[in-house]
Structures are given as structure tokens and as C-alpha cells.
Structure 1
Amino acid sequence: MRHSSFPRSSILVYGQHTIHSLVQSTVIAQVEALLENNRIEDAADLTKTFASGQTLDSDEVETLEYIHQSIAFALFSQTRFVEAAPHFLAGALDPRVLVSYFPELSRPLLADGEEAEVYDGISKRMPIEANVDDLIAANLVRNYSPHLPPSTREAPAAQEIHKILREEAIVMIKSVLQGFKGQGKYKQQEVTDTALAILFARSGDTTSLISHLESTNSASLSAVEPVLLEAGEVGALCALLRARGDEGRVMEIWKGLVEGRYSDPSVTDPLSNMFALLESKQGKDRAMLRKWGVWLTVRDSERGLMLLMSTKRPTKEKDREEDLTILSELQQLDPNAARKYLEWLVIVRRRDDAELHAQLVQGCIDELLECLQDESTLKLWRAKFASYTSQSSQKYITSPPSTQLQRPQSSFLTYFVSTAPDSPSKRARLKALFALQALSGYNAEMVKSQIVASGFDKVLGLEMALLNGKMGMHRMALRALALTLRDPVSAETYARTGGIVVPSKAVEACGMSEWGALFAAKGGPGILEREKTSEGKGELVRMLLEVYMEDGEPQQTTRLLRSQAANLDAVDIIPLVPPDWPLSSLSSFLTHSFRRTLHAKHEGQTIKAICAAQNSKVFESSYLVFREQGAIIEEADDEEDGDGDLESFDEKDGLAEKIALHLQDQQPSDTSVADVRPRVEEVDVR
């Protein structure tokens, strides 16, 4: 401390060797004398008188701080904590000095050997006890021993007094630290803010704790975090961490709340908090979404999958590896969620990967067979199959071949969709059908054997026909559709498209637009290679016709011949017709076939005549060019020359070079030479 200004003296006493001045005692000396005599109240009054004078200079301010600190430690040593608090504040004591007497505050805050500055003379007034508990115990021994049996430390009354004094000490330190808040250097502010947070947490004052943490950014997180977790103030800790921008640690703490490692009644729904935080990070922090997406999906499948599947990103190789990693983790933790995520990868993300396709098909088949384990579902689907086939059979029997052809009924798929009640099992079957049709890369033979082994191959007739088609057994597939299932619509669709049982229009009618997008994708997995060839338009139609004829279905045969006449040749069809069938069953087909043949012939003749006319026009326009170049064009003489041989003349001989030279000199002409030789196929109708 710098030396204070001494008061001036008007009385000097001169000695032989000394000079004495008669002055009034300083305030510091008077206060110290009063404190030595334990007159603390008189010292406090003297301090008030000194402070109430005129404006103080810097020396007087320091003098006042010294006096307050002296009084504060005098009261503190006597465990008069509440009375000491205002003097500590007025004395501007370094908060680290006071915090050092509270082990629960000093251990996480103050390093061993850490020093703080105090005024000269203050250290002798500081208690020699290491902490406030020892100070209280020493005062109890000094004031009550030996009056509290069996001992001052063990007597119930002494313990109660110790508890009361300890609470007063906590009140004192809180009030002092709140007064020091925002003052001093950074280290002092850190100690003040951290100690206050610890005190509020240990006392359970959540409101004050949150208010304090929201208004400060100096608290030591490493010191506060374990205390807050121990005290159950998890919500306040999360608020502090979010204010510091440490959202990763916030997620870890919320995870601990969900798993039961932490508890805090103020945090009512930590799982929803985690979802909300991650949703705010979409498009900004993919690493956090990737880290927590699977864990959240296991806890809440619906919201977790929405979070994983709503992440928009370009299709790159590293993204593909990330998707596969997420799928693998989900398959280990939550197979149902993994199945939905796999469906999203293939259908929405369009992952054209044979392995993913095979996994999705297998998942759909497993789900389908699981649904059939339910007896009510199995009975319902058997009834649908029997009802559809019986209606079709009755229609075929009651309609004679000679009557007017009736429009075929709807396909089995349309019938099933429109009549079966909406349920998870219904959607499972539709998804299995769509996956079997649209996807590639799976083992159709293995899937078929799995269905047969389960004993549901008769109920799943449409699926079996589709698998037979995938395996190249088209006749078996057509027989299953046309004769077993009695579904002429699907059979003709299969024959017309080259092996497709479920067309894209049927998918859209089922109300599953996401699958329809996969079917409609150009070049996507739903486009069969067979559809790109002519096999589906000719061979399969004729194969279906043979199936109908073998079964003796004149009405379906007649209707097929009528609708597919353009894809069938009468020469190939007539030998297949049974001799006992009436001619009327083929009249429509033959009429269309003959008309088409005659039309092709007339079209060829017309094209040939047009080409001849164009050639004549070109020849006439070229004649003038040849003549200008000096060409002599003569008609060949039918009479023999003198040698007895016919006169030979090549009008093109020598003209090629002249014509080339002429065309180089002339501007581009509109005259063009066309040599069109149309090829007309004549059909021999026997």
C-alpha cells in the first residue's frame, strides 16, 4: 500500500538531537487499536465517519478499503459471517482469498500455490484455520468448551450450532460474490462466476442458477460441469453449453438423460430436444446428423428415419459408402427401421445396386411371409383368390363363342387392391410385388423356392407367375396367369410387354406413387431388357394364344386374336386352330390380317410410283445439263451394224468428268438426283 498523506501539525518540539511533532492519530491506527480491544462496532462507526467526509482521493480510498478488510476479517474470525459480508464488499477484497476458505469452491478453482494480493497488515488479521469448518469448530471450542458434554465436536447442540453457522457462511459468500460479479480482472471474474454457479447448484436454486449462467460467460466449464451433473442441474448445464456453442456435448448430456445416467425433472423430453437440435442442423452439419441419426432411429424409428431420409445431398461415391454404413448399423440395431431405410435408398435415392436390390426383395418377401403367418390374413387372401377365379370361370362358361365379345374383367391386382381392406399386410404384399417386378439383381429361383417351402405358393399365384417370368419360364408364367389365376388382363399385359406382370399404371392406381416413380424411370431397374426387343410383341403373344387353344378357350382366343392381330401372322396362327372350332371365331382376325396385308401391298406400290416419278423428274432436269456440256445422247438402234453386232453406246462414258467440272463452276442448285428403290414385301396368303 502506498503511504497515506499525514495530517499537518502546528506544534513542533525541538530537542537536542530530535524534533517531535504533535499530530492526531491516523484512522488506520485508531481502527487497529479498537480492533485490538475487540471494539469492532466502534471501529465500524469510525470507518463510517471517515467515509462520510468530503470526496476521497486515491490514498484515502485505499485507506478505507484497508479498514473495511480489517473489520471484515475481525468479524469473520469470530464467525459473525453475515456482519462481515458488507465489509468484504466495501473492502474490494480479491474473491479468491475468501473462496479459499470454502473447500467445495476452492478445489475445482484454485491451483496449489496460487497467490493473491492483499494489503500489508491484512494477513495478520486473517484466520489461521485452513477453512471455514475448522474456523467454526475452533470458535465452538473457544466459546463452549467444556460446557458441552461429551465433547464440543460431538455434542448435538454443537453440531446444530455448526450447521447454522455454516449456512450463514454460505449466505455471506453468496452475497459477497454477487457483489463482486463483473468486477476485477478476468481470473477474478472467473472465480466469482464459477463459485456462484457451484453455490446455486448445490443449494438447488435452479432459477438463480439459470439466470446467472445466462448473464455470464466467465464461468469455468470444467469446474462447473461435474458439480451441475452431480446436483442434477442438467438443464442449466445444457443452457451453458449451448451458450458456449458446444452442441456436441449437449447431445451427449441429453443422451445420458434418455439412457437414465442423469436425471433432471426440468428437462421433460430430452429425446425431442435432440431431434429439434439436429433438425436445425440439416444442411449445415452432416457429421452431427451422421453421428446421431442411427442412435435416434433406434429410440424413435419414425422420427429418426425422417431425419436420416430428409438429408439432401448429391449422389457421390462417398455418400454411397455412408448410406451403406448407416444401413449396416441399422440392420444390427433395428431390422424394421433398416428395411424402411433400404426401401428409401432404392426407391427414392435410386441406388442402382444389385446387392441393395437383392436385400430389399428379400426383406419384402420375409415381411410378406410373416404376414401370412396370421390366420385371418391367410383366409382373406385365399377367399380373394377363390372369388376372382370363380367369377372368371363362370364368365367363360356362360358366354358362348358365337356371342359378341365381352370386355375382360379387371386384373387380379386391381381386384385385390379395390376389395381388400387397407392394412399393413396388404401394403406388404403390394411392395413385394412391386419389388419383384421392378428390381433386378436378386435370385428369382431362390425366392421362388422360399415361397414354395413356406406352402403359400397357391395363395401367391401372381407372385409365382412373376418369378417364373423372371426365370425365363414364360409358358409356365402365362399358364399360371391365364388358366390358374384366370387373369386375362395380366396375361395379355405379360405377353404384350415382354414379361411385365405389374405395369406402371397399375402401380399408380394402388396409391403408392413412390414406387410408380421407380417404374417410370427411364432406363431404371423397372425396365426389362425383354421389353426393348420384339420378343414380347410376337413370340409371347403367340405363346399365350397356344395356351388358350390348348385349354379350349375360344372366347379368350378370339378376343386375343382380335386385339393382337398386328403382332400375329395368319400363316402361323391358322395351323394352330383346332378343326372343330367355328370359322366365326377367326373371322375378325383374318379380316384384319388380310386388310393389313393388302394395305402393305398398296402402300408399297404407292411408294414405288412416287420414287419412279422422282427419278423421272431428276432425269429431265439433268438432261439440259448434259446437253450444255456437249454430250450426245442417242437412242440405241435396234438394227445390227455392218459387223453384224448390235450397236453399243454408253451414254455415261466420258460424262462423269464433265459433270463434275460443271458443278464446280455453278452455284448450288436445287436439282437433286435421287435413286430410290423401295423394297415391297408381298405377302402370300394361303
Structure 2
Amino acid sequence: MRHSPFPRSSILVYGQDTVHSLVQLTVISQVEALLENNHIEDAANLVNNFASVQALDSDEVETLEYIHQAIAFSLFSQTRFVDAAPHFLAGGLDPRILVSYFPELSRPLFIDGEEADMYDGIAKRMPIEANVDDLIAANLVRNYSPHLPPSTREAHAAQEIHKILREEAIVMLKSVLQGFKGQGKHKQQEVTDTALAILFARSGDTTSLISHLESTNLASLSAVEPVLLEAGEVGALCALLRARGDEGRVMEIWKGWVEGRYSDSSVSDPLSNMFALLESKQGKDRAMLRKWGVWLTARDSERGLMLLMSTKRSAKEKDREEDLAILSELQQLHSSAARKFLEWLVIVRRRDDAELHAQLVQACVDELFECLQNECTLKLWRAKFASYTSQSSQKNTPSLPSTQLQRPQSSFLTYFVSTAPDSQSKRARLKTLFALQALSGYNAEMIKSQIVANGFDKVLGLEVALLDGKMGMHRMALRALALTLRDPVSAETYARTGGIVVPLKAVEACGMGEWGALFAAKGSPGILEREKSSEGKGELVRMLLEVYMEDGEPQQTTRLLGSQAASLDAVDVIPLVPPDWPLSSLSPLLTHSFRHTLHAKHEGQIIKGICAAQNSKVFESSYLVFREQGAIIEEVDDEEDGDGEPESFDEKDGLAEKIALHLQDQQRSEVGVADIHPPASNEEEVNVR
């Protein structure tokens, strides 16, 4: 049977109108009596004895909480803050009541009219002062006035005592709130977590602050954030925001950190933290990467570009517009990074956009001009040009016989790549050459005028020749390559491919794989459409031949006739040869022409014999078929002319011959027999060595 919590009595005194009972005082009554007489230690001992006697039921637990709160507020009223802390914890006081005595904590947390539950008898034990500072001041007046001149509030000793007691009150509040952490209703937990965060921040206890914020807590962000920023605990605030999943706000704070608006010695490299956070968002939050990628690139171009370039993109119009927007922002913030991003869009992403192509070409040309502003670079490239042309002139000795023609030296591009030291200027020139060759949509005339206006037309002779070809001025381009630059390899490549100065093999030899992949994907960029037609075939080769002949280059002409004889017609070439040139200079062309004629004749004879054999086979097989069908087949007597013979009216007469002729025409069309013009006599022979 459960007993009543009220005291029991075995002595009753009956009166005429009343009944009196002699009972023992309750614990609450005893404690309150002790507190009234300021025997707080005795009251605390009494409570400890009461709690240790037996297991307590719910009513007794509430009684115990009430007593602890009463003792705690009695100690609190006397500014014995450290002694009051364990009683506040044991009494289960609503933390909002204790926090309300600290205005720096209560103002951002409580709203007007907010209430908290408490026992009725506790209110009279609470101090009448509104806050802890007033409470300390009142106790100083009671205990030390008038012993501290000139006044209790102004005396230095009183101020020191006030400071010490204020620190003790903060220590008490921390210990009580840490004991209440994770307990109570949602609002109580929010107040506890927020007050603790503010106290740790203002005391400079960064370790405890970060540990508190990284754990599960309900701290009010609006109340904590300004305090943390003011205290310089930016790292702790970022830890709280990341725990809440507000990574966008984290990036904003780190941005202010990098720009100097915030500071915190606990984090040494906020920029690296931003990169690490964005890298973790790869493939998950593209909008966040887009928002911060450009800003980070302006601070660290290498890592920022890697971040932007690693973002997955498609060929959709939306992605194209986004790429253009990023490029535009980079051009305003960081021109060098914008140039690299533009190159990535065109070379790696293969954005087939005329505007982007024109921008990349202009960017490469501008970078090349910047390199040529360096006097050392300009002198070096001039020396390379002079050295190459002088070597070429020495090799082109007209006195050499045709049987001793030397193999032409490497192209100027190959020579430049192999002899020039690796540098930024060298790579800039190669990129410019590749861009001019592979890309389209730019204004070649404008680029050439810029080169000429800056006085670099002689140093950049290869680039000028390439631009002439882009503008359709092929004779001028061939003259520049063959005579000015003395580069027969590039000149023949240009003539053979229909306008290409930089072939794919040369790009691959330079070790610039991305550009080589672009050249391979575009399929020999720069080939003229008219060169693909049969009537345009060999036109540029003949034009190069004319250039050599106009300049009086017999050795180069002879070599060209030998290497490109298949693209030339002897009938067109012979009238161009000057009368004073030796016949040996035409030997390669004539040899090839005679061999080609003889080859065509023999090929025609072989095809004619094959067709005749096929026709005979078809005729023999059809002969039996016609005979079985009842056809009358008459053999013509070769000795008779047919005069006087009666005309045959057989409807099948001549059918076999028609079929044979039809099959013969089909065979010829399939084999593709060309017109053959054999010599007048079959007994004529062509002696070819």
C-alpha cells in the first residue's frame, strides 16, 4: 500500500469543536525554516539525508526538486554562484529562468511575454533584481557600504569584486547549462545550446565551442552567428553551418575570410577549404560549382580552372550559354584564366562556334605579340629565320646533276620546334599556328594586318603565308613559303593538300596532344573545296612549279617534277620550261609520263582481253539455251557477201548477238574501261629506263 507523502501522527487531541494532531515537521517546512534563518548548509545536509534514506516516488522527487531550487536561489541571491550550481542542476530548473538573469544571452533568445513553468514557492526565493549585475551591485551595497569610499559603486575594490563575482556567475551558468544539455523540451534545448555557444565564444574557448557546435544541437543560428563573427570564431560558425547543411552560407563566410572581412587563427587556408568543399560537390550540385567557380579562379587560376573544366557538360544550348557566360565573367576578372578556359572550350570540348574560334585566334595572336615584346625572344626568332633560310640557300645549288638531288631539309616548323628552347613564347607561337590552321570563322585579313602593323611580318613569315592561303591568295602564299622562307617541304605540303601549312604529323611531333586530337577530329582542316574536285586537282602543284620557274630554281623544279609528276600533265609543263634549262631537269616528268602511258596501254589490253573472254563464255552458254527453245541459228559464211540470199524473218534471228552485246556493255561499265589511245602501230615500243 502506497503511503501518503504527508506526515502521519499517532497522537490526536480532541476538543469540543476541533481535532488536533501532533505531527513531525515536513522536509519542506524544515528547509524553509532553515533558509529563513540563513542556515543554508544545514538545509543542504537535510536534503542530502532525505534523498539517501530510501527510494523516492514521483511526489518525493518533486519535493526534492523544489527544495534544491529553493536552496539554489538562496545561494544565488547571496552571490554564492559556484555553490548554487549543483542545486540548480539537482532541482531541474528550467534553464530559461536562469538565463533570463543574463541580458547578453536573454535578449537574442526570448520574446516579450514568454513564460516558463516553476513551483509556486520558488518565486519568493528568487532575487528581485532584474539581472545578475544588479544583484551583485545590491549585495556589495549591503555588505560593504559605507566602508568603500567614495561609494560602493565607484570604488576600485568594489569593481574588482564585481568582476570576480561576474566571472563566477558565468562559470556557474556554464556548468548548469552543460548539465542540462540535451534535456527538456525543444525550446529549453534551444536556449541551452545557444547560451552555451555564446558563452564559449566570448570566453575564447574555441575547442569547447567547436566540440559543442559539431555535436547535435539546436542553437539559434540568428542569435549565435553575430556573436561568433564578433568574437572571431569564424571556424566554429562554419562548423555549425556545415552541421546544419547550409554550405552556401559557409562559402559566403569563407569568401569574407579571404577578402579580409573576417579573421580566425584556427583556420590557416580558407581558400583551400572552399576548393575542398566544391570538389566534394562534383556531380551533385552544379549550380554551386557554377556560382563559385569563377570567383575562385580569379584567386587561384590553376585550381579554379581545374574545377570549372571538371564539371560535366553536354552539347545542349543551355550548357553552351553557360559556358559563354563563364567565359565572359573570366574575361572581366582574369584574362589569363579566360584564355585557358577558351582554349579548353574549343580544343577539348570542341565547341564548333565561329565566335569562340575567332576569340581564341585573337587571344593566341595577342599572347604571341606579348612574347615578341621581349627583345630576347625577337632576336632569337630572327636568328632562327636567318639560319634556316641560309641553310636552304646552300642546299639549293643548281650545279648538282639530277641524279644527285639532295633530299630537302626539314620544314621550318620542324626546325623551329627542334632547335628553339622550350619556353612560354615557343608554346605561344605553336598554339597560334595551330589555331590559324585548324580554326575557321576568324578574319584572316585583320590578323595579317595586325602582324604587319607591329612589324613582325618577317619574323612570322610562316604565319603570314598561312593567312594568305586562308584568304585565297595561293600564289602569294606559295611564293612566301618557297622563296622567302625557303621551305620547300611546307610549300609542297601546301600544294599537295590544297592549302595546309601545318599538317597533322607536324602537330603530333610537337607533343601537343590536345591540338593533335583536334586536327585528327576535323579531318585535315583547311583543305580547299575546289581542290577536292577533279578539275581542281594539281592546280596548286602547277602554281608552285610556276613559282619555282619564275625564280629560276632548276633543282627545286626538278625535284618537284619528280615528286609530284602524278599531279602534273607533261603537255602543260613542257611549254613552261625555259629554253636554256638542261633536258635532264625534265627527265623525272617525262619518265613518269611515258611509264604512265605504257601502263595505261597494257591495262587497256588486259581489260579488253578479259571482256572478250567473258563475252565468248556468255555466248557459248546462251547458244545451247536458244537451240533448246527452238531458235533457228544460222552461221554466216564469211566468203559470201549475202547478195541474192533470201532475208530471214525469224523473230529470234540476231537475238543471241544482241544479248552478247548487252552483256559486254555491262561488263565494261562494271570494270570501268577508260579510253585508250594506242599508237599507230602495235610494233612500236617505248624504251623506258
Fold-level similarity (TM above 0.5): yes
Within the alignment, does 1:682 sit opposite 2:676 as a pair? yes
Return the letter of the residue paired with 2:485: L
Aligned to 2:252: 252
Distance 1:633 1:676 in 2: 27
Q: CA deviation at 1:144?
A: 2.2
Q: Which position in structure 2 is the counterpart of 1:591?
A: 591
Structure 2 unmatched runs, 5+: 680-685
Structure 1 residue 615, shift from structure 2 partner: 1.7
Change (3 A) 1:532 1:513: farther
The Cα offsets for residues 347-398 of structure 1, whole Å up to 9 and x where unpaired, read as: 0000011110000001111111111111111111100000100111111137
> Using the alignment, how far apart are the partners of 1:44 and 1:403 within structure 2?
123
User: Residue in 2 aligned with 1:303?
Assistant: 303
Deviates more, 1:314-323 or 1:83-92: 314-323
Paired residue type of 2:367: E
Cα distance 1:228–1:529, how it changes in 2: closer, same or farther (>3 A)?
farther
Q: 1:576 to 1:480 in 2, by over 3 A?
A: same
CA contact (8 A) 2:9 2:22 kept: yes
> In structure 2, what is the Cα distance between the partners aligned to 1:215 and 1:122?
34
Distance 1:265 1:293, change over 3 A: same
SS of residue matched to 2:397: helix
Q: Which amino acid aligns with 1:606?
A: I
C-alpha contact 2:279 2:307 (8 A) present in aligned 1: yes
Q: Decide whether the 8 Å contact of 2:402 with 2:558 is kept in 1.
A: no
CA distance in 1, matches of 2:303, 2:615: 74
- The Cα shift of 1:595 comes to 0.3
What is the match of residue 516 of structure 1?
516
Question: What is the alpha-carbon distance in structure 2 between the residues aligned to residue 228 and residue 575 of structure 1?
Answer: 93
Residue range with higher mean Cα deviation, 413-422 or 605-614:
605-614
- What's the CA shift for 1:214? 2.4
- 1:588: Cα distance to partner? 2.2
CA contact (8 A) 1:44 1:71 kept: yes
CA distance in 2, matches of 1:116, 1:332: 57
2:682 aligned residue: none
Which residue of the partner structure matches residue 102 of structure 1? 102
Distance change (3 Å), C-alpha of 1:223 and 1:672: farther
Taking the TM superposition and a 5 Å limit, the aligned residue runs for 1:490-529 are 490-523=490-523, 529=529
Amino acid across the alignment from 2:39? R
Q: Is the 8 A contact 2:298 2:334 kept in 1?
A: yes
Deviations 1:32-71 (A, max 9, x none): 1111122212211221221221111111111111011001
CA contact (8 A) 2:433 2:463 kept: yes
Q: 1:6 to 1:508 in 2, by over 3 A?
A: same
- Kindly report which structure 2 residues correspond to 1:487-566, keeping only aligned pairs within 5 A, or say none: 487-523=487-523, 529=529, 532-534=532-534, 537-566=537-566
Aligned-partner Cα distance in 1 for 2:193–2:278: 31
Instruction: From the superposition, tell whether residues 272 and 536 of structure 1 become closer, same or farther in structure 2 (CA, over 3 Å).
Output: farther
Code of the residue aligned with 1:434 in structure 2: it is: F
Deviations along 1:118-150, one digit per CA (max 9) or x if unpaired, are 111101111111111111112222222233233
Q: What is the distance in 1 between the residues matched to 2:185 and 2:416? A: 79
**How far 1:537 sits from its partner (Å)?**
4.4
> Is the contact made by 1:519 and 1:527 (CA closer than 8 Å) also made in structure 2?
no
Name the stretch that deviates more: 148-157 or 419-428. 148-157
- Using the TM superposition, give the Cα deviation of residue 585 of structure 1 relative to its aligned residue in structure 2, in angstroms: 1.2
Distance 1:21 1:241 in 2: 64
User: For structure 1, which segment, 252-261 or 614-623, has the greater mean C-alpha deviation from structure 2 after superposition?
Assistant: 614-623
Aligned to 1:442: 442
Correspondence list, 1:152-171, <5 A? 152-171=152-171
The alignment partner of 1:13 has SS state of strand
1:199 aligns with 2:199: yes
Equivalent position of 1:627 in the other structure: 627
In structure 2, relative to structure 1, the CA distance for the partners of 1:92 and 1:399 (3 Å cut) is farther
Task: Quote the offset at 1:651 in angstroms.
Answer: 5.8
SS at match of 2:20: strand
- C-alpha contact (below 8 Å) 1:9/1:22 kept by paired residues: yes
1:518·1:524 contact (CA, 8 Å) conserved in 2? no
**What per-residue deviation string (whole Å, max 9, x for no partner) do you get for residues 389-412 of structure 1?**
011111113752455111100000
Worse overlay, 526-535 or 222-231? 526-535
Distance change (3 Å), C-alpha of 1:530 and 1:69: farther
Tell me how far apart the structure 2 counterparts of residues 530 and 170 of structure 1 sit (CA, whole Å).
Answer: 90
Note if contact 2:632-2:653 (Cα within 8 Å) is conserved in structure 1: no
Counterpart position of 2:615: 615
**Paired residues of 1:251 and 1:274 also in contact (CA < 8 A):** yes
Root mean square deviation of aligned Cα: 2.2
Shift, 1:531, TM fit: 5.5
Closer, same or farther in 2 for the Cα pair 1:49/1:399, shift >3 Å? farther
Call closer, same or farther: CA 1:492–1:192 in 2, change over 3 Å: same
Aligned: 1:345 with 2:345 = yes
Q: Check 1:584–1:640 CA distance in 2 against 1; reply closer, same or farther (3 A cut).
A: closer
**Identity percentage over the alignment?**
87
Output the CA distance in 1 between the equivalents of 2:206 and 2:473. 74
**Which residue is 1:269 aligned to?**
269
TM-score normalised by length of structure 1: 0.94
Letter in 2 for 1:195: A
Q: Scaled by the length of structure 2, what TM-score is found?
A: 0.93
| Equivalent residue number for residue 88 of structure 1 | 88
Write the distance in 2 (CA, Å) between the matches of 1:270 and 1:526: 48
Equivalent residue, structure 2, for 1:62:
62
Query: Shift in Å at residue 477 of structure 1?
Result: 0.3
Q: What is the distance in 2 between the residues matched to 1:132 and 1:148?
A: 21
Query: Does structure 1 conserve the Cα–Cα contact (< 8 Å) formed by 2:611 and 2:664?
Result: no
Residue 605 of structure 1, CA deviation: 1.9
Change (3 A) 1:673 1:392: closer
Local SS of the residue matching 2:668: coil
Aligned-partner Cα distance in 2 for 1:266–1:78: 40
Instruction: From the superposition, tell whether residues 531 and 345 of structure 1 become closer, same or farther in structure 2 (CA, over 3 Å).
Output: farther
| 1:318 Cα deviation from its structure 2 partner | 1.2
Which one-letter code corresponds to 2:203 in the other structure? S
- CA pair 534-242 structure 1, distance change in 2 beyond 3 A: farther
The verdict on how the C-alpha distance between 1:269 and 1:535 changes in structure 2, with shifts beyond 3 A counting, is farther
Equivalences, count: 669
What do residues 67-115 of structure 1 show as CA deviations (whole Å, max 9, x unaligned)? 1100100111111111111110111101111011111111222222111
Are the counterparts in 2 of residues 190 and 219 from structure 1 also a CA contact under 8 Å? yes
Using the alignment, how far apart are the partners of 2:524 and 2:9 within structure 1? 108
Kept in 2: contact 1:411–1:490 (CA 8 A): yes
Tell whether the 8 Å contact from 1:558 to 1:585 is kept in structure 2 after alignment: yes
Q: Indicate if the aligned counterparts of 1:193 and 1:216 stay in contact, CA closer than 8 A.
A: no
What residue identity is the alignment partner of 1:513?
Answer: G
Q: Which amino acid in the other structure matches residue 187 of structure 2?
A: K
Q: Which residue of structure 2 aligns with residue 48 of structure 1?
A: 48
For 1:172, the equivalent position in structure 2 comes to: 172
